[in-house]
Amino acid sequence: MKRHTLTILLFAAATNFSCGQTIQEIFKSLPSEYSLELTVEAKDSLMQYGTYTFPGGDSIETVQCDYHTEKDFIEIVLSFTTGQRAFAVIQLKKFQKIDGSIVVVYAKYGGLPAAFDQHSLLTFDYVDDSLKRNEHLGLPETIETSEFLKEDLPDSVEADKITFNTSYDVNPLEANSIEYLIDPQTSQFDDWIKTNRFSFRWNGETFEKMKE
């Protein structure tokens, strides 16, 4: 009976350790420079209530965050409650290596609804309850807009004059993948677009670029 009880306790301890590596715990360990300068207390409030209003706001400018989560994924949307249209989106996604260790993908994009851009996509190892940058997991920080365009552009079309909204999706419908996205600001460039997304799939060790 004692041996059976000990087995149950050991299993429970292992389960609790595994559960401690949730995406919420990872988010709490994310340095403030990557998480909109949110304190640990602010993160707790955001996760508990689904929204957090930054202190010090007034009728001219007040900023808030909205929180959304799914399995191994968190999205934070920064916006104004006072009418300004600028926004920022932070996404965090947890992946597991074959050896059981944890990898985290962080992405941020934002701007205005009609003009937003990729800011950065970073990869981390999650070790000893902290995040450590790992730049060798196969994901570029950004993808140049020229990569989304066809190669045989006519002379009248200058690639550097074509503007797009650019963003990331670290939790797309395709499981275990990351997407870099463009959205043309007008339809006039549709004929020159080669693809509107680049996908990278996690193989348990690194991210591999998928064929277009």
Query: Residue 190: its pLDDT value, please?
Result: 83
Let me know if residue 174 belongs to a domain.
yes
Amino acid at 203: N
Let me know if residue 61 belongs to a domain.
yes
Let me know if residue 5 belongs to a domain.
no
Let me know if residue 29 belongs to a domain.
yes
The residue range of the domain holding 194 is: 21-209
Query: Residue 17: its pLDDT value, please?
Result: 42
Alpha carbon distance 151, 162 (integer Å): 14
Residue with structure tokens 């292992």? 14
Spell out the per-residue pLDDT of the chain, length 212, in tens.
444 443 333 333 433 344 448 999 999 999 999 999 999 999 999 999 999 999 999 999 999 999 999 999 999 999 999 999 999 999 999 999 999 999 999 999 999 998 999 999 999 999 999 999 999 999 999 999 889 988 887 776 766 667 789 999 999 999 999 999 999 877 877 888 999 999 999 999 999 999 87
Let me know if residue 7 belongs to a domain.
no
Given 3-state DSSP classes, what are the helix, strand and coil percentages for the chain, each rounded to the nearest 5? 25, 40, 35
Q: Name the domain count of the chain.
A: 1
Nearest to 91 by CA among 131, 34, 49: 34
Residue with structure tokens 């999205």? 75
Contacts (Cβ under 8 Å, ≥6 apart) of 108: 34, 88, 89, 90, 91, 119, 120, 121
Contact 63, 55 (CB under 8 A): no
Query: Residue 211: its pLDDT value, please?
Result: 86
- Could you tell me the pTM of the whole model? 0.86
Let me know if residue 43 belongs to a domain.
yes
Query: Residue 16: its pLDDT value, please?
Result: 39
Alpha carbon distance 63, 58 (integer Å): 9
Burial of 2: CB neighbours in 10 Å, binned 0-12, 13-18, 19+: exposed
Alpha carbon distance 170, 179 (integer Å): 6
Phi, psi of 31 (to 5 degrees): -55, 150
